[in-house]
Chains A and B, each alone.
Chain A
């Protein structure tokens, strides 16, 4: 149990850096973070160490985040009012927004397929190969999405800074 607690302490930052920008709010990200560690605990016997633990946890966190986003979009399709109560607001009423909010808002406005790659590559610092491995995508797809995502994100940030 103590060993597992050490794992939680050591990797919670990594999981937070994946889950929070993916879903855009701390409450859902907290649940995803917890679920990530529980899933890992349950599947610990199957983890043979052929990938790094960080990569393994990031994959679980990304998959859970994608499920959450999918669930939300399904829910949004049922309730039209949800569009007004978007979890990741594009605009901010405060005049000065710090970098964290800026990144949060910008990533929230970015398409999920680009968002996941930007998070893993730039925020988490995984290599392109590791990112491709985590997302189970071909390397070429990751590279093209990364390039397109960066351009889109730059435009969104510039737009947000003007607000």
Chain B
């Protein structure tokens, strides 16, 4: 004799079906979440380190540039940066006359 003769009986059979995950499911989920978090923070650290190295290299390059300008020109003025400290306006005229 079948257990199922009507939709109500089918519904009652199905509502009594109560499967569960294997033991320790909660712990496995939480472990995966912790692992996921540490993976994400590792990725963040890699990005932060790259950014820091790029920024430090930029700062170092600027310091070297300032130092070399000061050594060659002996000054920190705008003309020193443009290389115009020893430039006289007559120079191009003389140069074009000599050409």
Contact = CB atoms under 8 A, between A and B. Distances in A.
A113 B42 CA distance: 41
Contacts of B32: 34, 37-38
B29 A99 contact: no
Interface string A19-40: 0110000100110011001100
Contact of B22 (A15, A30, A42): A30
B13 A103 contact: yes
Given A17-B19, A42-B36, A161 B3 contact: yes
A104 B18 CA distance: 11
Chain A binding site: helix, strand, loop or mixed by DSSP?
Answer: helix
Interface stretch (B4-12, B49-57, B63-71, B79-87): B4-12
A68 to B, nearest CB: 15
Listed residue (B13, B19, B22, B36) with the most chain A CB atoms within 10 angstroms of its CB: B19
Interface in A11-62: 12-13, 15-17, 20-21, 26, 29-30, 33-34, 37-38, 41-42
Nearest to B31: A34
Interface residues of A, number: 36
Interface string A95-129: 00001101110000000000000100011010000
Contacts of A4: 30, 33
| Number of chain B interface residues as a range | 20 to 34
Contacts of A38: 29, 32-33, 36
Contacts of A21: 17, 19
B72 to A, nearest CB: 54
B42 to A, nearest CB: 16
B19 A33 contact: no
A122 B11 contact: yes
Given A38-B33, A41-B33, A157-B4, A99 B21 contact: no
Interface of A: 1, 4-5, 8-9, 12-13, 15-17, 20-21, 26, 29-30, 33-34, 37-38, 41-42, 99-100, 102-104, 118, 122-123, 125, 150, 153-154, 157-158, 161
